[in-house]
Amino acid sequence: MAEFDRSAIQDFGIDELVLMENAGLAIAHGARRLLGGDAVGKRIGVLVGKGNNGGDGLVAARHLRNWGARVDLLLAGDKADMRDLPAKHLEIAERMGAHPTGPESDLGGAHLLVDALLGYNLRGSPKEPLAGMIRRANASRKRILSVDIPSGLDASTGDPGDPCIVADTTITLGLPKVGFLAPGAKKYVGKLYLADISFPSLLYARCGQRENLFGQESLVRIW
């Protein structure tokens, strides 16, 4: 997956901002589907990490807000620590009227939580304040939609960290992660979908995927 990202950006010239926008839109469509096809009036809590996973969540939040949802942004840390692209999307969200809160904010009224804390580069167990947010999300008993991978799950081995998000649904981006095949990983992944975020078909062909995955749907059910 790291090579997919690198090649798309460097070899094909696809801007990382485009990939993030497409990823966030796919997550927003998945969230609306989980809400029965209508986001109007629904309260959605988006747990936002400082990296690109958090940026995907912020893009999703923007679309969901435009579709009539009440979106709460729960930041895992200080805004000053966010990477450039997520920080840009956070600025957009604030200009649209969003008021981000901290990691201890209330989750009680949410119809759905979007886990956009950690991506596929995680090694080891999540640290605070991420760990506390994961524990609170799991304890809330709300439905959780994970962006790309449940936060805390090792993408390569499938080993869960302590703690690890237990998702109802995961929308993975580009390629399914190898760790999803590990015994026990499905408990954390939940229902798994693969999203089309505009990676070139030539990249899929290099991996041996010759058939068009997204000819009919931009979200493909894996299990």
Q: How far apart are CA 186 and CA 14, in angstroms?
A: 32
Q: What is the pTM of this model?
A: 0.97
| Sequence letter at residue 183 | P
What's the confidence (pLDDT) of residue 123? 86
What's the confidence (pLDDT) of residue 92? 96
Three-state secondary structure call for residue 193: strand
| Sequence letter at residue 193 | Y
Q: What's the rounded mean pLDDT across residues 97-126?
A: 93
Specify which residues 147 forms β-bridges with: 171
Three-state secondary structure call for residue 148: coil
pLDDT band at 161 (very low <50, low <70, confident <90, very high): very high
Which domains does the chain show, CATH number per domain?
A: 2-221 (3.40.50.10260)
**In the predicted model, what is the mean pLDDT of the chain?**
95
185-196: buried (b, 16+ CB within 10 Å) or exposed (e) per residue?
beebbbbbbbbb
Three-state secondary structure call for residue 59: helix
Q: What's the rounded mean pLDDT across residues 95-100?
A: 93
What's the confidence (pLDDT) of residue 24? 98
pLDDT at 169 > cutoff 90: yes
Closest to 52 in 3D by CA, of 13, 90, 108: 90
pLDDT band at 216 (very low <50, low <70, confident <90, very high): confident
| DSSP assignment letter at 210 | -
Q: What tokens appear for 155 in the block?
A: 């993408």
* Dihedral (Cα; 127, 129, 130, 135), 10-degree rounding: 100
What's the confidence (pLDDT) of residue 215? 87
What's the confidence (pLDDT) of residue 198? 93
Percentage with pLDDT > 90 across the chain: 88
pLDDT band at 210 (very low <50, low <70, confident <90, very high): confident
What's the confidence (pLDDT) of residue 1? 87
- Convert the pLDDT of each residue in 22-74 to its tens digit: 999 999 999 999 999 999 999 999 999 999 999 999 999 999 999 999 999 99
Q: How far apart are CA 191 and CA 168, in angstroms?
A: 6
pLDDT at 182 > cutoff 90: yes
